[in-house]
A and B are shown apart, each in its own frame.
Chain A
């Protein structure tokens, strides 16, 4: 498949050979965007994060839709959005409509996802849609971008949409072969980049990246800095297929216990644990694999970006 033009800053930065970083923002059950905008501005300040993912109802919960926050962070924080769109809640008609709306709002990246099942979320009785699956959504986006029509070939007035899109891959999946083959189906449908679920095991991550090399698509390895022991514990127990190393869990617990009542001390101790773990992790990935960058899911944990990413070059050119 011919390589698609880079429309987004993210894809332009990757194309130019930068080792890129993306961040993550999570609109929640809240009638307010100020926290998201604040986080996005903090990401922008790092000058290392080229785009921020905006999640779409993670864990199947009913949260604010990802479309408007994606637009707002571009407008108000000046950082490009990676608009996450799951196929869980919308059929092909609604997905088409949303993508056109996103294109009109100037969004340049879509991350296609299946979406955690509603049975896991806070509306367990809901009917999960899954009219098309995420691979079929990739095909639909390819058609919209490359042909300028809807899935059935009806013309979209105004022509082709100018977007890049990615898919996800899970380095924790066991067995791995069906996961790799599934990613292959998506690559064949024209994805521009891959962002992975979070990895904690460096050897596993390297193996996984090696397996994905055959597809010749830029991969951003997902990392999840752990802001607190509670979050680490939740992640370990409730996020499918992710296990946090026991040492890391223990260290976080100890850091919180040792600094009870001392907030700055606690923050410093937790940050140190994360930096000691993830800094060499990132350096190793950059040095030994063909990964195009890191998807750093430090949600509401912006203070870690400067010490973690500070030594990597700025890419001011790719800001919006």
Chain B
């Protein structure tokens, strides 16, 4: 068994909120995801959601027909399309139990039906080994600096995203946000760099971030060709 998971951390929306989104439909398809979304939202979670929505509908005197399925990875366009397409003609709408990527992907590859999110996607994180909690370790900012912070990210780990911490809200090594229950990222960075006698990195000033690297929508063009002759060519022309 894996002791630590890295994944998209999600939280199930309130059942009333999900019901509000789908209450105008009589037949819905509920799609779990076997991908990285944590805690797990697979076939059994999809089934429970169907039962809950059915009960909720009954309290309003309505009948709701549902089917629960699960998808290997909803964020993979081919897997998502081939798994879900055989069902969609029979159902009016889809409820996705994946992260936001899965919901967007189903809407994209199966545009004839609306797919609604059953979850709030929280962050990319890991589960503490053996504990029932998840921590954000990376906010995918597009400008990684953990090479100079002992492998710990102050952007994901600090409530104020400070590049030059700690701030005055640190008390006994803990953070003011969350009522001093979470460690101050900058104190942990200081501890780690001190351990390796690398306080030179701690003392270093980090200039303001370039937020163009994390401006929405994120878009990355991957080159199809590479050569070490490129520079020479440019000189010639």
Question: Which residues of A are at the interface with B, using a C-beta cutoff of 8 A?
Answer: 88, 92, 113-114, 116-117, 119-120, 128, 130-136, 139-140, 151, 168, 170, 172-175, 177-179, 181-182, 184-185, 188-189, 197, 240-241
List, in ascending order, chain A residues with CB within 8 A of B162's CB.
Answer: 114, 130, 133
List, in ascending order, chain A residues with CB within 8 A of B177's CB.
Answer: 117, 119-120
B147 at interface, CB cutoff 8 A: no
Q: Which residue of B lies closest to A140 (CB)?
A: B208
Contacts A178-B186, A181-B199, A181-B203 given: A114-B160 contact, CB under 8 Å? yes
> What separation, in Å, do the CA atoms of A192 and B102 have in the docked complex?
53
> What separation, in Å, do the CA atoms of A2 and B159 have in the docked complex?
34
B173 → chain A, closest Cβ, in Å? 6
9 closest A-B pairs by beta carbon, nearest first, are A135-B164, A178-B190, A114-B167, A241-B171, A132-B208, A133-B162, A130-B160, A136-B208, A119-B177
Taking A114-B162, A132-B208, A177-B194 as given, write out 16 further A-B residue pairs in contact, using a Cβ cutoff of 8 Å, ordered by the A residue number: A88-B160, A92-B208, A114-B169, A130-B162, A132-B209, A133-B162, A134-B164, A136-B206, A140-B208, A173-B168, A175-B187, A177-B190, A181-B190, A185-B205, A188-B205, A241-B172
Contacts A173-B168, A175-B173 given: A185-B161 contact, CB under 8 Å? no
> What separation, in Å, do the CA atoms of A132 and B194 have in the docked complex?
25
Q: Which residue of A lies closest to B163 (CB)?
A: A133
Does A114 contact B208, Cβ atoms closer than 8 Å? no
Give the contacts of B171-204 with A (CB-CB under 8 A).
Answer: 171-173, 176-178, 186-187, 190, 194, 199, 202-203
Query: Which of the residues B159, B164, B169, B171 comes within 8 Å of A182, measured between beta carbons?
Result: B164
Can you list 13 A-B contacts with CB-CB less than 8 angstroms, sorted by A residue number? Answer: A113-B168, A114-B162, A114-B168, A117-B177, A131-B209, A139-B205, A172-B171, A173-B171, A174-B171, A178-B165, A179-B170, A185-B164, A241-B172
Q: Which residue of B lies closest to A132 (CB)?
A: B208
Query: Which of the residues B165, B170, B178, B202 comes within 8 Å of A133, measured between beta carbons?
Result: B165
List, in ascending order, chain B residues with CB within 8 A of A135's CB.
Answer: 163-164, 205
Does A182 contact B165, Cβ atoms closer than 8 Å? yes
Query: Which of the residues A120, A133, A168, A184 comes within 8 Å of B176, measured between beta carbons?
Result: A120
Question: Which residues of B are at the interface with A, using a C-beta cutoff of 8 A?
Answer: 159-173, 176-178, 186-187, 190, 194, 199, 202-203, 205-209, 211
List, in ascending order, chain A residues with CB within 8 A of B178's CB.
Answer: 119
Does A117 contact B187, Cβ atoms closer than 8 Å? no
Does A178 contact B169, Cβ atoms closer than 8 Å? no
Does A178 contact B202, Cβ atoms closer than 8 Å? yes
Contacts A175-B190, A178-B166 given: A240-B171 contact, CB under 8 Å? yes
B179 → chain A, closest Cβ, in Å? 9
List, in ascending order, chain B residues with CB within 8 A of A130's CB.
Answer: 160-162
Summarize B's interface: helix, strand, loop or mixed: loop
Does B205 contact A189, Cβ atoms closer than 8 Å? yes
List, in ascending order, chain A residues with CB within 8 A of B187's CB.
Answer: 175, 178
Does B202 contact A181, Cβ atoms closer than 8 Å? yes
Query: Which of the residues A136, A151, A181, A197 comes within 8 Å of B168, measured between beta carbons?
Result: A197
Contacts A131-B211, A240-B169 given: A136-B160 contact, CB under 8 Å? no
Does B172 contact A174, Cβ atoms closer than 8 Å? yes
Query: Which of the residues B202, B206, B208 comes within 8 Å of A131, measured between beta carbons?
Result: B208
List, in ascending order, chain B residues with CB within 8 A of A172's CB.
Answer: 171
Name the residue in A168, A170, A240 with the highest tally of chain B Cβ atoms < 10 Å from its Cβ. Answer: A240
Does B164 contact A133, Cβ atoms closer than 8 Å? yes
Does B207 contact A139, Cβ atoms closer than 8 Å? yes
> What separation, in Å, do the CA atoms of A199 and B166 have in the docked complex?
19
List, in ascending order, chain A residues with CB within 8 A of B169's CB.
Answer: 114, 116-117, 120, 240
Does B160 contact A184, Cβ atoms closer than 8 Å? no
List, in ascending order, chain B residues with CB within 8 A of A168's CB.
Answer: 168
A58 → chain B, closest Cβ, in Å? 11
Contacts A130-B162, A168-B168 given: A240-B176 contact, CB under 8 Å? yes
> What separation, in Å, do the CA atoms of A120 and B167 have in the docked complex?
14
Q: Which residue of A lies closest to B159 (CB)?
A: A117
Does B207 contact A136, Cβ atoms closer than 8 Å? yes
List, in ascending order, chain A residues with CB within 8 A of B205's CB.
Answer: 135, 139, 185, 188-189
A60 → chain B, closest Cβ, in Å? 9
> What separation, in Å, do the CA atoms of A178 and B167 have in the docked complex?
10
List, in ascending order, chain A residues with CB within 8 A of B194's CB.
Answer: 177
Name the residue in B171, B186, B203 with the highest tally of chain A Cβ atoms < 10 Å from its Cβ. Answer: B171
Does A117 contact B176, Cβ atoms closer than 8 Å? yes
List, in ascending order, chain A residues with CB within 8 A of B209's CB.
Answer: 131-132
> What separation, in Å, do the CA atoms of A197 and B171 have in the docked complex?
13
Does A128 contact B160, Cβ atoms closer than 8 Å? yes
List, in ascending order, chain A residues with CB within 8 A of B199's CB.
Answer: 181
Contacts A132-B208, A174-B172, A178-B202 given: A119-B159 contact, CB under 8 Å? yes
> What separation, in Å, do the CA atoms of A184 and B164 have in the docked complex?
11
Q: Which residue of B lies closest to A135 (CB)?
A: B164
